[in-house]
Structure 1
Amino acid sequence: MNACSENAKICDFNERFRKRHEVPLHSRLKNMSRRYFSKQYYKRCARKTFPFVKTVQTYKIRKYLANDIISGLTVGVMQIPQGMAYAMLSSLPPICGLYISFFGPLVYFFLGTSKHVSMGCISVVSLMIGSVMDDATSDPTFSVQNTIITQNLTSHSILGPSENISIFVGNNTEFDSMTNVVQRSNVHPSIDSFKIEIASALSLVSGVVMIILGRFGFGIITTYMPEPMVSGFTSAVAFLIITAQAKHIFGLNVFRFNGYFKIIKTWVAILKNIGDTQWLPLVIFTVSFIILYVVKVHINIRYKKRLKVPIPADLIVVVLATVITYTANLYENNGLNVVKDIPAGFPSLNIPDLKLVIPLYLKDAVMIGIVAFTQTVSIAKILAQTNNYDINPNQEMVAYGAGSLACSLFSGYIPAGSVGRSMVQESAGGKTQVASLFGCLVVLVVIVAIGPLFYNLPKCVLSAVVLMSLRGMFLQYLELPSLWRKSKIDFMIWIVTAASTIVLDAEIGIVIGIAFSIFTVTFRTQRAYGYKAGFVEQTNILRNVKRYQPIRSDDDNRIHFVQYHGPVFFANADHFMRTVYQKSGLEPKVLRKSKKQQGEVTVTVAENTENELDEKETLTNERQKIVIDFTAVNFVDLVGVKTIKRVHSDYNVAGVDVLFVGCNDDVIDMLTKCDAMKELSPFLITSVESLLSHINNPQTHTLCNGKEICDNGCPPTNREAH
């Protein structure tokens, strides 16, 4: 095969077709200035930053408004019980959940790109916020003798009047002088003030980070959180949520553990105190859960097509339980644990003290924000595909960050998109985010006027609402057998993430899940798939000889095909080299040894991967060739280039030519930068088709550069080589 003539060679192909004209620097700067300093550019930026402008401009009142009103009111009704329930899950007052249910969707309407996502409280974020709350209130840096909190607290209008007073935690030991307290505008005796301050600071930090990341295009971060990892994490969180709600279900006063193995410690404590179970909250929880299950599963889902809007089971159960508790006076007579005061009106605007979370809980703020973003953008993508429109992940990250920022200023925490509510908003006929505005109106009425009426709402009923919302998470366990059959690696990602989340903690679990997911990618690229290939008979298609038949045989056994799927870089360079040696059946060391002993090229063909000598053939006239299909090699690095050169050099010394077929531009550019083209260019073939053309017609060559061509297809400068 000629080393420098035919158009199959990449060097000649690039010489003829590749562009060499570079745009001058002053032209590039001029084009950039036209792009970034024009009215059109700023208009595009404004539309991307505020997607609601396009929504308003293209809104069709007659076609969309009725559906948006119905779906918005439906979701708004759902927001009321779920907001209170998830706030309780985060160990904050129920009213905080209503604030999030109002400000979250309101901000998202202006900045979000999804038409159907319902923003507000979700279980995963609430649990992670609650974990930080527990850690903060038990951390020695926030207490004296593990009993007295001595941090500066800011009162919120939702918690009553302000006054200077000692703060009690745990054993109710009094601390007379609060020397570490820096008095701000107000101080309230309730530990809830401190928790709200922490949650708001977390939300503020998370919001700022998300906005910055979104502006710098880090919406792609979700690619490092594959679907099996997210599924395993959320499924494991379901167990953590059940554990957190167990004390309300059984009416037990169980210490809330933190750190590693907390779920195991909690259930051990529950089982030890199971004899103290209060039957009244257990019965109320059971009845509430049964009603929710029957209405949501056997009515709303079964008769989904017949119902224009789903029955608001959550709100019905909450209202009935509140009325029954109030009528029967269960709180005063039986000591039933209820939510108590839910103040009316908005909280005062307050900027949280960032010193409470920086630097101690900075990583938690970022992690919770990423989890909220991941879950929300996942459901947003699904709904966008279903309804044939696009979302912008980077703008979505900005929208979530802005929502967190707004909630932090009004006694809330990080909002996120709910899978259940979003599906309801879409199935109820919602067309645009205008539906979220009507949902906000429903929540606004409760915040301003109706909230105090839920004083007698049993907490065990909110636990039933939370647990019923976990149904989708538990259904993910049923998909494990199918996942095992489809992909063992994805199955392991699911298991590792879920197990680490349950045994250790939510924050640790998601970090381990991401790390393990990246490890599997590294492992698969490090152990990239390579095999001996051949042309399927009567076709020009290269395939694995072990999987396809019949394969055209090479009568003189001169050409050996190897296909390699994956990059060639520092982590798998040795694996690539071994794959070529084993799959080609030609070991350079053996070839060199035979050549040295016999004084001529002796080729030993190994039929197995251990290179055992089964058959020998001495070739004295023509060099053998190894053809490596590089069409599936997406990139190489410096180590990869050195490895490619070594493979070529080892075989060249042994009397074997190595041809690389189908190298992409990135591979060619890397070879050029590393000064490897001088050595390798004669052995780089543009495509398998070009290789076949040469194999079938070895004497027919064309050089498409206008030069004079000799009989063998070489330009005049290379004629003397023949």
Structure 2
Amino acid sequence: MEKKYAYNSDFNETFRRNNAEQFILSTKLRKVCRKYTSRNYYRRCVKESFPFIDTLRSYKLKENIANDIISGLTVGVMQIPQGMAYAMLSSLPPICGLYISFFGPLVYFFLGTSRHVSMGCISIVSLMIGSVLDDAISNSGFNKEGRRLPQNLTLLSAIGSSGYNESGYGPLNLTVEGQPSPYVTQGHLPHASVNAFKIELASALSLVSGIVMIFLGRLGFGVITTYMPEPMVSGFTSAVAVQIITAQAKHIFGLDVVRHNGYYKIIKTWVDILKNIGDTQWLPLVIFCVSFIILYSIKVHINIRFKAKLKVPIPADLIVVVLATVIAYAAKLSRNNGLNVVKEIPAGFPSFSPPDLSLVIPRYLKDAVMIGIVAFTQTVSIAKILAQTNNYDINSNQEMVAYGAGSVVCSLFSGYIPAGSVGRSMVQEGAGGKTQVASLFGCLVVLVVIVAVGPLFYHLPQCVLSAVVLMSLRGMFLQYTELPSLWRKSKIDFMIWVVTAASTIVLDAEIGIIIGIVFSVFTVTVRTQRTDGYRASYVGETSVMKNIERYQTVVLDGRPELIVICYHGPVCFANAEHFMRTVYRKSGMDPKMLLKALRRQQQKAQIQLDVSVEKDVLEETLCRNDHQKIAIDFTTVNFVDLVGVKTIKRVHKDYQSVGIELILVGCNDDVIDMFEKCDIMGEFSSSLFTSMELLLAHLNFQQTSSSCNGEEPLMNGFCEGKKSHISKEKD
């Protein structure tokens, strides 16, 4: 039995299913129609597209409602200062951050699959949005006072069609060229209308990004995060933290510094800051330092240290924002000392206003897609961590659809791309939140601020929001302390981190993440090319095969003529030559070297003796090599391409030319199918074995078959007559 099924061809012929029927077109069509017309399929599609249905159906009111209320209100309180701060980071009015903090979690409740992710504004997305807006402003003819010549009314028309007024929040009735306009007669565009243009462009970016994310999610591109390894994401976020500090520096020092864009913008910004450091305004710097110290003391020394005793963390951000607003209003700091404050925050919801996509397409299409991917990457990363911690699964494709839908809705109400916050998500999970119902209670808190409380933050100093932003970056900066450990664990992952971070800091966020992805894929390619094999044998009396250089191994079943090479990785165009060199090097038998040695022996024999002796030397050498066998363990070779097949054929022929037999053991079905498609199964039929045990049994069978005097040999290495003789001796 073992003899019959030792070869792959015999094994497949006996046991492999005949699946020819499934390749018939009519059979395929019947299966597809049956799949897409069944009731279960549509029921499953509805459940996957709207996860909140299962959430509400399985919701345990008595067990979960209290925890969801507490965690939702806690996160909602955090959303208020962080939303305003991150909106300011993107150079948009603070109210835009509150809009995102409301619509983002609301949409995610219906479409998201994570139970604990807190959607809203995050620093990375806000910074990338701000970079695009600054680039658009610098290329549109605005100066820093908001002045712009009226002869080019393309931008005026875009703002006029957006529905914003000159404050950036309500209806605007700018006219196109040839019709009267109060802004044209004034000869310049008021600074407030710059905010209207920024809101319009940010909303257009969000709409385009959302549409692309929904499309990619439906096509199953949620697996894109597999090309963004953790070291790359960590290096990128750590570098973005440096960019965020650079963007907030002018608010901290009270300097009027031009915000640079493009390559080397961090270096250029800090050069300008150092040149103007003598003009530092001490009041915003002191307020920032005091606010940061209070935030650090509460969040680190109270909330984190006494986390087990505090059921709900102290809302440090909201406390600092409220106190700073009250003090600035009472002392009239903005009027008497010229302190930059938030100013007008309108009450109520913005009007429904689809943005003008021509502002984004085609110039900023790449930026819109890249920002959406960055938002998706960070959010799905924290979602996976929380899902593993709480023992449930998330759907990456549906997550991409949820983020895209959130971006679309926010774009219709003066917002931009929402994403999951690491800090708020951890708070939502740590405060006892059980489901996304918690996000609904958070939305209620933000709703109250949007409708009624927002205007009360008029006197909030901008430097306080800078303190809120920088304190939220604490986790990103702690990632720098993990570099020594990362170096000790993996040099390659360390290089991925450094290359991504350096390119993001020196160049730009979009370029940095592209370089990080390319470099990460490059390291995988290099490691695939450099996959090394080893010579293996059994360890002791076990059936485990290990590297003979690392373990105390024994000769394979007493067969010194059998050499086993284990190779890990594919055999493809990228590493075909390396595979061939590895087999030759680890086996210690390079066919070229053997042929050279054979020719030297022939030449020596020809010189010393005659031609007949030369032929005897050749025959003797080939006969000696005829007993030598090299077996390559293919159990860890996951695939072979056309170049790999040609390389294996070449190795096989090279060894044949010197009388050595090459054997492939444990090839998977994909490799066998590739051999069949390349029509080499006939050539390899006697060289493919299903397992190492059957190969050894087959060799034992061959060894004893010639000594059984015509009797049928057994796979245990004995013929029937010898077996009976041994049995009699034992008796």
Task: Say if 1:162 and 1:188, in contact at 8 Å, map to a contact too.
Answer: no
Match of 1:159 among 169, 178, 188: 169
The equivalent residue for 1:128 is 128
Partner of 1:439: 442
AA aligned opposite 2:646: K
Give the equivalent residue in structure 2 for 1:675. 679
For 1:585 and 1:63, locate their aligned partners in 2 and report how far apart those are by CA, in whole Å: 68
Task: Name the residue aligned to 2:67.
Answer: 67
Matched-pair identity in %: 71
The residue that corresponds to 1:36 in the other structure is: 36
Q: Secondary structure at the match of 2:306?
A: coil
After superposition, the Cα gap between the structure-2 partners of 1:12 and 1:317, relative to the gap in structure 1 and judged at 3 Å, is same
Q: What does 1:298-447 align with in structure 2 at a 5 Å threshold?
A: 298-447=301-450
Partners of 2:227 and 2:520 within 8 A in 1: yes
- Could you tell me whether the CA contact under 8 Å between 1:242 and 1:467 is conserved in 2? yes
Shift of 1:681: 1.8
Does residue 1:242 correspond to 2:255, yes or no?
Answer: no
Distance in 2, matches of 1:215 and 1:552, equals: 55
2:724 equivalent in structure 1:
none
Corresponding residue number in structure 1 for 2:616: none
Task: Indicate the SS of the match to 1:620.
Answer: helix
User: Hey, what does 1:606 align to over in structure 2?
Assistant: none
Aligned to 2:729: none
Q: What are the residue-to-residue correspondences of 1:243-262 with 2, within 5 Å?
A: 243-262=246-265
Match of 1:638 among 642, 646, 651: 642
Q: How does 1:551-590 map to 2 (within 5 A)?
A: 551-552=554-555, 557-590=560-593
| Equivalent position of 2:531 in the other structure | 528
Aligned to 2:627: 623
CA separation in 1, counterparts of 2:511 and 2:499? 11
- Counterpart residue identity of residue 544, structure 1: N
Amino acid aligned to 1:652: Q
- CA-based RMSD of the aligned residues comes to 2.6
Verify the 8 A CA contact 1:250 1:279 in the aligned structure 2: yes
**CA offsets 1:569-611 (integer angstroms, 9 cap, x no match):** 11111111111111111111122234455579x9xxxxxxxxx
CA drift at 1:147: 5.0
Contact kept, 8 Å, 2:170 with 2:350, in 1: the verdict is no
Shift of 1:146: 10
- The separation in 2 between residues aligned to 1:512 and 1:128, in whole angstroms, is 16
Distance between the aligned counterparts of 1:649 and 1:618, measured in 2?
17
Partners of 1:92 and 1:581 in 2: CA distance:
64
- The separation in 2 between residues aligned to 1:146 and 1:523, in whole angstroms, is 53
Amino acid in structure 1 at the alignment position of 2:164: H
Out of 645, 659, 670, which is 2:663 matched to?
659
Partner of 1:9: 7
Distance across 2 between alignment mates of 1:300 and 1:19:
62
Residue in structure 2 matched with residue 464 of structure 1 by the alignment: 467
Structure 1 unaligned blocks of 5 or more: 168-173, 182-186, 603-616, 702-708, 715-722
User: How many angstroms does 1:562 deviate by?
Assistant: 1.3
Structure 1 position 649 matched with structure 2 position 653: yes
**Comparing both structures, which one devotes a greater share of its residues to helix?**
2
> Are 1:561 and 1:628, in contact at CA under 8 Å, matched by a contact in 2?
yes
Partners of 2:594 and 2:658 within 8 A in 1: yes
- Give the secondary structure class of the aligned counterpart of 1:350: coil
Contact 2:218/2:401 (8 A) holds in 1: yes
Contact 1:534-1:545 at 8 Å conserved across structures = yes
Q: CA–CA distance in 2 between the matches of 1:166 and 1:235? A: 45
* Counterparts in 2 of 1:189 and 1:67: CA distance versus 1, 3 Å: closer
- Give the aligned partner of residue 20 of structure 1: 18
Distance of aligned partners of 1:33 and 1:710 in 2 relative to their CA distance in 1, 3 Å threshold: farther
CA 1:333–1:563 in structure 2 vs 1: closer, same or farther (change >3 Å)? same
1:393 and 1:446 map into 2 onto residues whose CA distance is 33
User: In 1, Cα distance between the equivalents of 2:187 and 2:71?
Assistant: 51
Name the residue aligned to 2:97: 97
State how far apart, in whole Å, the 2-side matches of 1:262 and 1:146 are: 24
Q: Distance in 2 between matches of 1:407 and 1:695?
A: 71
Task: Give the structure-1-normalised TM-score.
Answer: 0.90
Give the corresponding residue for 1:216.
219
Does residue 1:687 correspond to 2:701, yes or no? no
Q: Which structure 2 segments of 5+ residues have no match?
A: 178-182, 606-619, 716-731
CA distance in 2, matches of 1:20, 1:141: 70
Work out the CA distance in 2 between the residues paired with 1:591 and 1:392: 56
Post-superposition offset of 1:500: 0.4
In the alignment, the residues of structure 2 paired with residue 25 and residue 135 of structure 1 have an alpha-carbon distance, to the nearest angstrom, of 54
2:67 counterpart SS class: helix
Residues 305 and 277 of structure 1, relative CA distance in 2, 3 Å threshold = same
SS of corresponding position for 2:566:
strand
Mapping of residues 140-151 of structure 1, within 5 Å:
147-148=148-149, 150=153, 151=155
Contact 2:567 2:637 in 1 (8 A): yes
Question: 3-state SS of the aligned residue for 2:533?
Answer: strand
| Equivalence for 2:76 | 76
C-alpha separation in 2, matches of 1:12 and 1:381: 45
Q: Distance in 2 between the 1:189 and 1:344 partners?
A: 17
SS of 2:567's equivalent in the other structure is strand
Letter in 1 for 2:656: N
Q: Which has the larger radius of gyration?
A: 2
In structure 2, distance between residues paired with 1:234 and 1:324: 34
**Aligned residue number for residue 614 of structure 1:** none
Structure 1, 25-34 or 5-14: larger mean CA deviation: 25-34
Paired with 1:360 and 1:587, the residues of 2 have a C-alpha distance of 57
SS in 2 for 1:682: coil
Shift of 1:246: 0.3
Q: Judging changes above 3 Å, is the alpha-carbon distance between structure 1 residues 85 and 166 closer, same or farther for their aligned structure 2 residues? A: farther
Aligned to 1:516: 519
CA contact (8 A) 2:622 2:659 kept: no
How far the C-alpha of 1:163 sits from its partner, in A, is 4.5
3-state SS of paired residue (1:534):
strand
Q: Please report the TM-score for the alignment, with normalisation by the length of structure 2.
A: 0.88
State the one-letter code of the partner of 2:675.
Answer: L
Shift in Å, 1:464: 0.3
Distance 2:691 2:680 in 1: 20
Distance of 2:704 and 2:200 partners within structure 1 = 80
Kindly state the Cα deviation for residue 6 of structure 1 after the two structures are TM-superposed. 4.2
Q: 1:710 to 1:360 in 2, by over 3 A?
A: farther
Shift of 1:560: 1.7
Q: Counterpart amino acid of 1:635?
A: F
Q: Which amino acid aligns with 1:156?
A: Y
CA distance in 2, matches of 1:450, 1:176: 37
SS in 2 for 1:256: coil
Report if aligned partners of 1:164, 1:188 keep a CA contact under 8 Å in 2.
no
Deviates more, 1:149-158 or 1:215-224: 149-158
Shift of 1:689: 2.1
SS at match of 1:636: coil
CA distance in 2 between counterparts of 1:289 and 1:695 reads 76
SS at match of 2:592: helix
Conservation of the 8 A alpha-carbon contact between 2:200 and 2:414: yes
Q: Which amino acid aligns with 1:84?
A: M
CA shift at 1:536, angstroms?
A: 2.0
Q: Is the 8 A contact 1:5 1:12 kept in 2?
A: no
How many residue pairs align between the two structures?
677
| Partner secondary structure for residue 565 of structure 2 | strand
SS of the residue 1:396 aligns to:
helix
Letter paired with 1:336: L
Give the secondary structure class of the aligned counterpart of 2:623. coil
CA distance in 2, matches of 1:246, 1:304: 32
Match of 2:489 in 1: 486
